[in-house]
Amino acid sequence: MQFVQNFPFMCILLTLICAVVTSVLKGRQARVLTMGLIAAVTAMTVAVLAYTLRTGESYVYMMGHFPAPWGNEIRIGVLEALMMTVFCFVMLFSFVGGLVPSIREIETTKYNIYCILADLIFLSLQALVYTNDLFTAYVFIEINTLAAAGLIMMRQKGRNLVAGVRYMIMNLVGSSLFLFGISMLYTITGHLLMVHIRESVAALAASGEYHVPLTVVVALVTVGLAVKCALYPFEKWMPGAYSNATPSVAAMLSSLVSKGYIFLLIKFYVRVIGFDVIRSLGVLDLLFIFGVLGMVMGSVHAVRARTTRMMIAYSSVAQIGYVFTALGLGSELGVVCALWHCAAHAATKSMLFVSCAEMDDACGGTHMRKDLRGAFYHSPLLALAFALGAINLTGIPLLSVFMTKVTLTQAAIGVGGRHMAIVLAAVAISTLLNAVYFLGTAVNLFVPTKPGDAVRPPTVRKNPFTAAALVGMIALNLAMGLFSQPFLTALADGLARFA
């Protein structure tokens, strides 16, 4: 075994150890340690990615002295390493980009707890991406849920507390459905390790035994994780949670927490149950319908939103809709598209949240979309970052979300029939609505204010951390847009070896 193969395990344990050590640190030491940790994990993940791309194979890493069905294990391949690399960069930029607002908004003496919870979110994300064991996945879902609820309540204002409680209730519903699902799956297969469940499920599907429990299991896990990702009819908890939280928390939640669950769901479909079995159970049609509804309804809500952050939060509903629509198509290309959109959306949405929060303050502490007029002339970098994110999500060629729409359409044409017509219509409507709210807001940034207008002084000074993070985010987004083809090829290769 090569030394680099140890890195995922080291990242997980290092993150845990840093979280524990942070509990006795003061604010400044805590944030230095957290930034250092995220940077170190990013570097190690890049090394793992390079290794997996070179070998092309995925490998299993035993967590302890006992092999597969007896002990725990994690599994790392191109797909895991690639997604994790994007997530690491997003995490780094979100944390650094929202650093100064977080210092302002979070109780000084408890700042280290913010860092701990950020570490724990990062820990659970890594574990969800790498794990090869369903129960380990559940344990880290618990950590993820608790830490995310804590992060939402970081500002301790009334609305944050309400949003945090809502988040907690809805996510506990999701977690418990997932737990029901995996315990039933354990009862009918006798395993918790994904590869071994796959073998048993293939035998069950072939013999037709336990057909009802198997369907119920897939439905429970799907609905549980969909509730946690805020798929359309379950999205009520989400806008309040994202729009009132401190910017780095909003960025982390929208780009990383929900993506961890989606990645786990894809892993559940592809590696645990097997995509053929899933297709035969008919759950995918449900996902498809709600995904399409989400694509449209999220955008409708976003058009009606008055505050910028609420708009961005509702646009997440639409983007999650894209992911689930792609997944619901039930083809290989659809899954590739879902994975790609997870990465693309993570990179874009975090940039939007960070730049938007900072721009609100630069425009005199406003929250309203219309008050951002002329922001480009006093804070050009923020406005550029926001505009890039906005036109990206609208779907302009050369940028990453455009590739989502192309791949989604290709996948739908591959499937054909009613699916094709619905997807084409939904993409068209959603793109139009996206253009209405995102382009409208983005263009407004470049319209100079009239001489008579009241211009409010900025409430905070510009800060180099946000600027540096935004430069990094812009670079990440442009890179993902320009190199989308190799990225998609790597995703497809990784998916082929993922099962």
Partner 1 sequence: MTKSKGVFARLNAWLDDEQSALERTMEAAQEQSAAPDLEQRSPAEIRWAQEELEEERRIEAAMAQWAEKKAAPAARRMYNALCVCMCLTMIALLLYTVTVLPAFGDPNHPINNEVSARYIEKGLQETGAVNIVTGMILDYRAFDTLGESTVLFTAAMVVLFLLRKDKESARYSQLAQAMDANPHSDTYYEPKNDIILQKTAVILVPIILILGVYVVLNGHLSPGGGFSGGAIMGAGLILYVTAFGFARMRRFFTYKTYQTVVLVALLTYALSKCYSFYTGANHIESVIPLGTPGAILSSGLILVLNICVGFIVTCTMYCFYAVFRKGEL
Q: In the range 178-207, which residues lie near partner 1 by CB under 8 A?
A: 180, 184, 186-191, 200
The verdict on 154 binding partner 1 (CB under 8 A) reads yes
The verdict on 29 binding partner 1 (CB under 8 A) reads no
Residue ranges in 6-25 that form contacts with partner 1 under rule CB under 8 A: 6, 9, 13, 16-17, 19-21, 23-24
Do 493 and 404 meet the contact criterion of CB atoms below 8 Å apart? no
SS3 72: strand
Q: Which two tokens stand for residue 1?
A: 């075994």
Alpha-carbon 144 to chain mean position: 12
Q: Shortest distance, CB of residue 429 to partner 1, whole angstroms?
A: 28
Quote the CA–CA distance of 323 and 335 in Å, as a whole number. Answer: 9
| Phi then psi dihedrals of residue 468, to 5 deg | -60, -45
- Which of 326, 321, 251 lies closest to 292, judged by CA? 321
Quote the CA–CA distance of 198 and 76 in Å, as a whole number. Answer: 18
Q: For 229, what's the count of Cα atoms within 13 Å in the CB-facing half-sphere?
A: 32
Nearer of residues 116 and 476 to partner 1, judged by Cβ: 116
- Which of 262, 280, 258, 404 lies closest to 333, judged by CA? 404
Residue ranges in 197-256 that form contacts with partner 1 under rule CB under 8 A: 200, 210, 212-213, 216
E-state strands within 109-242? none
Nearer of residues 356 and 401 to partner 1, judged by Cβ: 356
Residue ranges in 84-113 that form contacts with partner 1 under rule CB under 8 A: 99-100, 103-104, 106-110, 113
Do 64 and 71 meet the contact criterion of CB atoms below 8 Å apart? yes
Tell the residue number behind the tokens 């002295």, with chain if given: 65
Q: Shortest distance, CB of residue 264 to partner 1, whole angstroms?
A: 14
Residue ranges in 285-314 that form contacts with partner 1 under rule CB under 8 A: 306
The verdict on 143 binding partner 1 (CB under 8 A) reads yes
DSSP secondary-structure letter at 371? Answer: G
Nearer of residues 160 and 325 to partner 1, judged by Cβ: 160
Residue ranges in 462-491 that form contacts with partner 1 under rule CB under 8 A: 463, 465
Residue ranges in 52-71 that form contacts with partner 1 under rule CB under 8 A: 61-66, 69-71
Q: Shortest distance, CB of residue 424 to partner 1, whole angstroms?
A: 33
Contact flags string 347-376 toward partner 1, x per CB under 8 A: -----------------x-xxx--x-----
Nearer of residues 224 and 389 to partner 1, judged by Cβ: 224
- Could you say which of 39, 162, 303, 381 contacts partner 1 (CB under 8 A)? 162
